[in-house]
Amino acid sequence: MKNSIPNHVAIIMDGNGRWATRQGKKRTDGHYAGYKRFKQTALYILDKGVKYLSVFAFSTENFKRSEEEVNYLMNLFVTAFKKDKNFFIENDVRVLFSGRKEPLSDEVYNTMKQIEEMTKDCKRGVFNVCINYGGQAEIVDTAKKIARLVKDNKLDINDITEETYYKYQYQDLPPIDLMIRTSGEIRISNFMLYSLSYAELYFTSTCFPDFDEKEFDKALEDYQNRNITKGKA
Ligand code: FPP
């Protein structure tokens, strides 16, 4: 029997730069194409019955890229999310952002908070967009949050378990069932380390701007035919 549709899918949207360079375009054109692709493929993923989609849009390490590229991406986050706020509301998608505040500008951070607020009652599904995100940083920040709650007598230390830990992370989301990485790199690159513990991993050489509905169907088919034991069998 096939596995059911994954509840939580994560995507490392890699290869925008290579996609652009191969076509003689600027790397930043690849990021723009990546954003357009995200909107299209992400909705399709929800249509398939997936409830939660986490995407890696900008890692803490990405700040080491050229100033031009970092500025382009920060500007894209602000302009695209502002322009598309109705897109998310009309499609009934709740948008959450995960990552550290520093060194994001107030403009980027405030845009993220506004979109979260505007979409907070949307019910069809959740897009968790990771910006200025690192998986080890999330584990450290979660440990600090838990330590503070215990110190303030708001949490009993015995109530911290593998299962309850999820709700203290940046966002209270279920474990990831399927993680997809585009562009041929076979690494996790510090993405959602705790939540990926039992995820099935799928790697494709397709660059993210070409990761369309058919490409997702291939990943889903592969996932549904796997023998998923989560250590039990
Ligand atoms: C990796 O490709 C991609 C990024 C660092 C940025 C991802 C951003 C987007 C897809 C656009 C914004 C999307 C959302 C949802 C806000 P790369 O530049 O590392 O490509 P390369 O490995 O070919 O150089």
DSSP assignments along 91-131, one per residue: TTEEEEEES--TTS-HHHHHHHHHHHHHTTT--SEEEEEEE
Q: Which residue has the tokens 């990546």?
A: 34
- The 10s digit of each residue's pLDDT in 20-68 is 999 999 999 999 999 999 999 999 999 999 999 999 999 999 999 999 9
Residue nearest to atom 6 of ligand 1 (CA): 57
* Ligand 1 nearest-atom number relative to CA 207: 23
What tens digit of pLDDT does each residue of 114-162 get? Answer: 999 999 999 999 999 999 999 999 999 999 999 999 999 999 999 999 9
Mean pLDDT, to the nearest integer, of 103-124?
97
According to DSSP, residue 200 is labeled E
3-state SS assignment for residue 193:
coil
Indicate if ligand 1 lies below 6 Å from the C-beta of 115. no
CB-ligand 1 contact for 74 (6 Å cutoff): no
Residue whose pair of structure tokens reads 């908070």 in the numeric block: 113
Angle between helices 67-83 and 106-118 (to 10 degrees): 30
Lookup: tokens for 97: 């952002």
User: What average pLDDT does this structure show over 61-80?
Assistant: 97
Q: Which two tokens stand for residue 149?
A: 């709650």
CB of 13 sitting under 6 A from ligand 1? yes
| Size (the chain), residues | 233
Tell how far the Cα of 160 is from the centroid of ligand 1, in angstroms: 35
Contact between 64 and 96 (Cβ < 8 Å): no
Kindly report which listed range (34-43, 99-108, 221-230) carries the lowest average pLDDT score. 221-230
Is 15 touching ligand 1 by the criterion CB < 6 Å?
A: yes
List b or e across 110-137, with b for residues whose CB sees 16 or more CB atoms inside 10 angstroms: ebbeebeebbeebeebbbbbbbbbbbeb
Cα 17 to ligand 1 centre (Å): 7
Task: State the pLDDT at residue 233.
Answer: 64
How confident is the prediction for the chain on average, in pLDDT?
97
Residue 232 predicted with pLDDT over 80: no
Residue positions annotated with a catalytic role: 14, 62
Q: Is 94 close to ligand 1, i.e. is its CB under 6 Å away?
A: no
